[in-house]
Amino acid sequence: MKKIALFSSALLIALTLSLHAADKITGEAVCAKCSLKTASACQMAIKTTNADGKEEIILADNNSVAKDFHSEICKKAEKVTAEGVITEKDGKKTIALTKVDAAK
């Protein structure tokens, strides 16, 4: 009985962690206002290629991670690797960034 309880606890923990795992994407970070002309204020966006091979744009939520990196990409593009939680609303994807680094 202890083995079953231990196994089910471990399984529950693993499932919980996988539900909250961050998404990792690579692409070209640009300013949605200055480069894409799709926003009224500066906002970080990442141009990436989806599973179908089509380009898609994921807007970054204006959290501290995105704001701190914005000076690197305002008026110019930068290849990046980003981590965060991607959500979709009304056909548009956004990412709540937890980490962003210039790709090498």
Give me the pLDDT at residue 79, please: 96
> What pLDDT is attached to residue 50?
86
Domain boundary assignment for the chain: 22-102
pLDDT of residue 17: 45
- The CATH number of domain 22-102, selected from 3.40.50, 3.30.1360, 2.40.50, 1.10.3210: 2.40.50
- Extract the residue ranges of the chain whose pLDDT is less than 50: 11, 15, 17-19
pTM, entire model: 0.76
Question: What pLDDT does residue 27 have?
Answer: 95
Give me 83's structure tokens. 């981590």
DSSP state of 47: E
